[in-house]
Structure 1
Amino acid sequence: MNAPLTAKDFATDQEVRWCPGCGDYAILKCVQKTLADVGANPDKTVFVSGIGCSSRFPYYMNAYGFHTIHGRAPAFATGLKLANPELDVWLVTGDGDGLSIGGNHLLHVLRRNVDTQIMLFNNEIYGLTKGQYSPTSRVGTRSPSTPTGSIDAPVNPCAFALGAGARFIARGIDTDAKNLSPVLKAAREFKGAAFVEIFQNCIVYNKDRFEDFVAKKTAAETQIHVEHGKPMLFANGAKGLKLNMKTLALEVVDVGENATPVEDIFVHDETSKAVAQMLINLPMQGYPMPLGVIYRDPAQSFDDAFWKHHPTQGKRTGKVADALRKGSVWKKA
């Protein structure tokens, strides 16, 4: 009987090269440990990335890996999954790589529901190219490309994913392995495109960008960890979210004997797109940041549908050489 895998079994001999203090280190360790915990097979695991700081990821994972071109990782990942459905395909991208030049490709891998785990590292900046503003940068962000402050309305990655038709949407924080690992496990178990936005600290160009909700001293008040079928409580149970029936919006209320009873706190339903929409936009109202699995509503994956309707079920019916010599003229059968 083989010994249980450890995080070291998923680490390579390559020197990990990110800036000291970069959030990518924490994500890497979390992914390695998570794969070991679930007993993943390195020989059937693939990491695909585009271009950016996050895209160095495949070099540091003891699995198969593809470091592809800017924004096109979803296309490569789709091809891999269709060619070999047994592969466990992970897609690693950033807010610049995935939501700028790669926005079109990301949209299609989500709407098609290709069975992949998509980790989008969001640091709200272009790190590899020295700190220009990115599609997720907040209004007013000063950078080499916006010296007087960005005037662009930022992209909300989870809202983008929901609008693209994603069937699994979740959020996590780079240094919070305790809560990020269960999210990654849930993403891996999901049959389809699992989108996970990970807030990642860029220590050099956008340091402490998420301090308003990741700071340990105030995290209990600024984060809400949602779980299917359970009331949406935070602040150690002293506060919660209640549905205002007049506005049909979630609002923060105090919880207790002399306040709102727990029975009236809104219960998370991860299968509801309407609930997901409300949670995704919650921080825009000045409310806590929802973390965990926000939306999960399974449907047939693209690769399953592809093979179900494949005319030869993968069996070879001819030779490549013959096909090349056949020409490009279509003839009626």
Structure 2
Amino acid sequence: MTIMENPLVGTDLGLTGLSGVPHADGPQKAKDYTSDQEVRWCPGCGDYVILATVRGFLADLGLRRENLMFVSGIGCSSRFPYYLEAYGIHSIHGRAPAIATGLAVTRPDLSVWVVTGDGDALSIGGNHLIHALRRNVNMTILLFNNRIYGLTKGQYSPTSEPGKVTKSTPMGSVDHPFNTLSVALGAEATFAARALDSDRAGLTEVLRAAAEHRGTSFVEILQDCPIFNDGSFDMLRKENAESHLIRLHHGEPIRFGADGEFAVVRQGFGMRVVCADTVAESEIVVHDAYAEDPEYAYALSRLSEQDLSHVVTGIFRSVSRPTYDDGVRAQLETAAERKPVREDSLQHLLTGRETWTVS
């Protein structure tokens, strides 16, 4: 196969998501990544917790602030770039992944992040989202999911549960919602994870892995909208929450519950939850985040139910595949080597064969 036939020649699968991104000269603190802008979200919004976690995580990551780029679309979550002392773009509704793709291709020295919401990413932006995942562009996508349109005052969203009563569905939504992780894995995301806003340790763990992954990292963050969808994830925060949260850890059997009394086993092509004492230890699924076949992670994503009886968090999948931006840069380098730029290139362009004389 020649170089022209394979656009991915020249890509290095040994790179990480942060390869080529400069680090700060010394230790950093969360305040170093805090802008002078007043944070303006509704009191009690889960975005505050996520912002605080990201600031602390960026300090631990220690990247130069001028080499961080946060791109957002439209929605409450899309205010995020204003509140970080880094570069950012508050862009167009649903189009943040497209803008981030351009940045990732042309600036390999940047750590590129997309901040979006369930409406912004999965409704008007659904097309851009799945193609960014399919192409495996080196960026990290944070999707804040509160299962409602908050900025436009409480309409149902693509992740709202069936029967949801809102201003736009006064008799209850008849839509079937997206399972966000299933969407990402269906688009063959090379990194897919979920975290809960109030689980700072779990969110930080996922963010670090996402940043270091080379390719498109997709992270869904479940968060509350106290104004239009208050308490939507309370079942995952209050008493008996451990009976509903399934936390994934690579290489460990998937058990959950206060005393590990529940477990996940295979059932046909999928998986199901059982009481751990009713099955042999060998039947309990051992989590493999590095499984090349996306069907395994997809089956895990189907365990999450709209009624929150079971919600899986952690890293579902993390695999290596050539990235779109590495491939594009490799092609440009190859083209430049084959046809060096002429000193009179502009004049040649103007007077070459691709011109016409109109009389």
What's the TM-score once normalised by structure 1's chain length? 0.91
1:86 maps to which residue?
109
2:180 maps to which residue?
157
Identity rate, percent = 47
Given the alignment of the two structures, is residue 61 of structure 1 paired with residue 84 of structure 2, yes or no? yes
1:283 maps to which residue?
304
Deviations 1:18-52 (A, max 9, x none): 00000000000111111111222211110000100
Q: CA deviation at 1:274?
A: 1.8
1:54 touches 1:93 (CA, 8 Å); kept in 2?
yes
Find the aligned partners of 2:142 and 2:342 in 1 and give their Cα distance.
Answer: 38
CA 201–318 in structure 1, closer or farther in 2 if over 3 Å, else same: farther
Given the alignment of the two structures, is residue 312 of structure 1 paired with residue 336 of structure 2, yes or no? yes
1:229 maps to which residue?
251
Find the aligned partners of 1:53 and 1:301 in 2 and give their Cα distance.
Answer: 30
Given the alignment of the two structures, is residue 196 of structure 1 paired with residue 219 of structure 2, yes or no? yes
SS of 1:186 mapped into structure 2: helix
Find the aligned partners of 1:138 and 1:238 in 2 and give their Cα distance.
Answer: 28
Question: Which residue of the other structure, out of 105, 108, 118, is the alignment partner of 1:95?
Answer: 118
CA 66–318 in structure 1, closer or farther in 2 if over 3 Å, else same: farther
1:1-333 alignment runs, 5 A limit: 2-212=25-235, 214-235=236-257, 236-244=259-267, 247-256=268-277, 259-270=278-289, 271=291, 272-284=293-305, 288-310=310-332, 311-312=335-336, 317=341, 322=346, 326=350, 330=354
Aligned alpha-carbon RMSD (Å): 2.4
Q: CA deviation at 1:326?
A: 4.1
Q: CA deviation at 1:171?
A: 0.2
Find the aligned partners of 2:128 and 2:182 in 1 and give their Cα distance.
Answer: 16
Q: Greater RCO between the two (CA within 8 Å, min separation 6)?
A: 2
CA 304–11 in structure 1, closer or farther in 2 if over 3 Å, else same: same
Find the aligned partners of 2:168 and 2:142 in 1 and give their Cα distance.
Answer: 26
Q: CA deviation at 1:316?
A: 9.6
2:188 touches 2:294 (CA, 8 Å); kept in 1?
no
Find the aligned partners of 1:128 and 1:226 in 2 and give their Cα distance.
Answer: 32
Find the aligned partners of 1:148 and 1:287 in 2 and give their Cα distance.
Answer: 24
Q: CA deviation at 1:262?
A: 3.3
Find the aligned partners of 1:117 and 1:76 in 2 and give their Cα distance.
Answer: 13
Find the aligned partners of 1:144 and 1:137 in 2 and give their Cα distance.
Answer: 13
Find the aligned partners of 1:56 and 1:123 in 2 and give their Cα distance.
Answer: 15
Q: CA deviation at 1:288?
A: 2.0
Find the aligned partners of 1:330 and 1:215 in 2 and give their Cα distance.
Answer: 65
Find the aligned partners of 1:206 and 1:237 in 2 and give their Cα distance.
Answer: 31
1:268 touches 1:275 (CA, 8 Å); kept in 2?
no
Find the aligned partners of 1:254 and 1:163 in 2 and give their Cα distance.
Answer: 29
Deviations 1:43-70 (A, max 9, x none): 1110000100000000001110000010
What's the TM-score once normalised by structure 2's chain length? 0.84
How many residue pairs match? The answer is: 323
Find the aligned partners of 2:190 and 2:25 in 1 and give their Cα distance.
Answer: 35
SS of 1:32 mapped into structure 2: helix
- Of 114-123 and 219-228, deviating more is 219-228
Provide structure 1 residue ranges, at least 5 long, that are not aligned to the other structure: none
